[in-house]
Amino acid sequence: MKKLLFILGFMLCFTLPLQAQKTSKIIIEHADFFNKDDEKIPDAVLLQGNVRVNHEGVVFTCNKAYVFEKENYLKAFGEVQMVQGDTLFLNSKYAEYSGEVKKAFATGNVIMRSPESTLVTDTINFDRNTQEAFYNSLGIITNKDNILRSKAGKYYANEKKFKFTTAVSLTNPKYVIKSNHLDYYTNSGHSYLFGPSTITSKENFIYTEKGFYDTKKNFAYFKRKSYIKYEDRRIEGDSLYYDRNREFASATNNVKITDTINKGLIKGHYAEIYRNLKTEKDSMMITKRAVAITLVDKDSMYVHGKKMIITGKTGERIVRAYNNVRFYKTDMSGKCDSIHSDQKTGLTKLIKNPILWNYENQMTGDIMHLIGNKQTEKLDSLKVLNNAFIISKDTLSTGYNQVKGQNLYGKFEDNKLREVDIIKNTEVIYYMRNDNQELIGINKSVCSKINMLLDKNTIETITNYNQIDGDIYPESDLPENARKLRGFIWRGDERIKTKEDIFPAEENEIDAKIKAATIKDRVNDNIPLQPSAATLNYDKNNPKPKVKNNEANAKPMVK
């Protein structure tokens, strides 16, 4: 008995799967004319007039059909429609269907509809097993929001996704997307871009090689080699976020923003950009090793702050930099707590504890302004108000040349400080030397005004004016404690000598970590962008009323 049960069980293991794999026959439900003995095609049943056949829930209607019962195969002619529940409707002039492998072929003015979109093409193949359709002729897909054109494509009915791997364009009233590889979800309007892709609109031009675009909500996320280009600037970063409705963009890691009009460049590791297209005003914030680079007469000015904010329209920008601001140019560098620069007036304010180095000359004061010339785009003048103090080392001794007064006014020639006037309560200590650089004596005096002519790091002449009180002392006659003016503080060790010196140590550490992570990301950059949970669960999170599958749905669309 046990042996018999074992044999029966063994046989069932083989017979049950075979029964499960057995396909059902195509069922003829209706036809105005029926002929099983057609001489032209003797192995087929000829159906004519209001033909309707069914195979496992999929309904075919047409004007004429041949059903090959032995092969379980259908050929349909004239106003053909295939209906799969309430999810897919396929119309064509001609179609074939195999009940054995559950695959359909349709050609001639093919129209495939789903609740979300309509595809028009010449020829299409549909596999019921995998719920996939594909075409290799020009296809046009339309829905409420977009029109897509492609030379070939594949449709995944379960995921409601089109996949394009040849030239495809998505046209929206606001923009056009072009790519050679695009995955488009018809229910959510989510688009995933792979390889060189562009998004063109009236407002900007976007390039990416890996990205995501929500065509319904109009926001996007881009990764590989991506940038956003406006008329006056270009925004780049390892990753970009873009909201078209607000004209807002943010960039993360290795951010670069190029001002194409003013020949400026801003770098950092995080930026936010907002454009107001109505007023032509916009704003930008950048942080994490932020630096603004501006071309000044074939030289570059580098300005760093913990945070930088730029506002205003083209030609009237206002630049603000905050916290431990540092700047560098070949012949000039400096530090302060914050900077306020107005492009329209050409005025740059160095706010709180400013210090400026012009070559070897150290300048300090309570208030410091740099004024530019808008016409020449060069530096015009310098103002140091309240407690102005200039210090430079004497080239051949341990002493220091010093000039102090209430206010300082400087003039630039070709972006180089050429002349300086110091007025009110002026004091000077100056090591005087002859043409052979031999020390003549130390000039220590007080007057109402001092004028200095500079040639790079050399004081060509120094002139005292009005109420002069002082003398030129031999070096041996002036003691060390008398060789420094009240308030003297030499800060040479703080001087910024290279563009790399503008960054504090902690920001260099952040930069090193980000660059290491960037290299790691680029190594793994071949990993495809995965559909988000919002994409995959769109229908679940945004339920719609179901369309009933009635006779009206089954009527042919093509006339």
**8-state DSSP, 22:** P
Distances 354 to 125, 227, 308 between C-alpha atoms, Å: 74, 37, 18
Instruction: For 237-394, list the strands marked E by DSSP.
Output: 239-243, 248-259, 264-276, 281-296, 299-312, 318-329, 332-342, 347-351, 355-358, 361-364, 367-373, 378-393
Q: Where does 293-400 have alpha helices with state H?
A: none
Bridge partners of 462? 452
In this predicted structure, the answer to whether residue 8 has a pLDDT above a threshold of 50 is no
For 28, the enclosing helix (H) or strand (E) is: strand 27-30
Bridge partners of 430? 443
Shortest CA distance to 72 belongs to which of 100, 35, 48? 100
450/466 Cα distance (integer angstroms): 9
> Which pLDDT band holds residue 271 (cuts at 50, 70, 90)?
very high
Domain annotation for the chain: domains and CATH numbers: 25-113 (2.60.450.10), 332-497 (2.60.450.10)
141/127 Cα distance (integer angstroms): 19
- Whether the CA torsion 404, 408, 412, 416 is positive or negative: it is positive
321/343 Cα distance (integer angstroms): 14
74/62 Cα distance (integer angstroms): 11
**pLDDT one-digit tens code per residue, 30-39:** 999 999 876 7
Mean pLDDT of the chain, nearest integer:
86
Cβ count within 10 A of residue 526: 8
Between 113 and 520, the higher pLDDT residue: 113
Distances 405 to 314, 333, 371, 429, 465 between C-alpha atoms, Å: 39, 22, 21, 12, 13
Q: Where does 112-193 have alpha helices with state H?
A: none
Shortest CA distance to 60 belongs to which of 121, 151, 126, 152? 126
Q: Of the given ranges (4-18, 95-109, 241-255, 385-399), which has the lowest mean pLDDT?
A: 4-18
Bridge partners of 252? 239, 270
CA 417 to centroid of chain Cα atoms: 40
pLDDT of residue 313: 80
CB 259 within 8 A of CB 292: no
The CB-side HSE value for 280 (13 A sphere, CA atoms) comes to: 7
Q: Average pLDDT in the 457-461 region? A: 73
Task: Say whether pTM exceeds 0.85.
Answer: no
Q: Is 489 strand, coil or helix?
A: coil
Per-residue H/E/C for 100-113: CCCEEEEEEEEEEE
In this predicted structure, the answer to whether residue 233 has a pLDDT above a threshold of 50 is yes
**pLDDT one-digit tens code per residue, 275-317:** 876 666 789 999 999 999 987 767 788 999 999 999 888 778 8
The CB-side HSE value for 75 (13 A sphere, CA atoms) comes to: 8
pLDDT of residue 227: 95
Q: Average pLDDT in the 115-119 region? A: 92
pLDDT of residue 74: 96
Cβ count within 10 A of residue 427: 20
Cβ count within 10 A of residue 396: 11
pLDDT of residue 525: 65
Bridge partners of 90? 82, 112
Residue type, 505: A
> Which pLDDT band holds residue 99 (cuts at 50, 70, 90)?
very high
pLDDT of residue 140: 96
Q: Is 415 strand, coil or helix?
A: coil
Residues in the chain: 559
Residue 324 burial (C-beta neighbours within 10 Å; 0-12, 13-18, 19+): middle
pLDDT of residue 469: 83
Between 455 and 287, the higher pLDDT residue: 287
The CB-side HSE value for 300 (13 A sphere, CA atoms) comes to: 11
**8-state DSSP, 501:** G
pLDDT of residue 463: 84
pLDDT of residue 539: 84
CB 61 within 8 A of CB 556: yes
pLDDT of residue 466: 78
Between 553 and 422, the higher pLDDT residue: 422
516/525 Cα distance (integer angstroms): 14
Q: Of the given ranges (106-115, 156-165, 525-534), which has the lowest mean pLDDT?
A: 525-534
Structure token digits, residue 232: 């006056």
> Which pLDDT band holds residue 196 (cuts at 50, 70, 90)?
very high
Bridge partners of 292? 266, 303
- CA R_g for the chain: 40
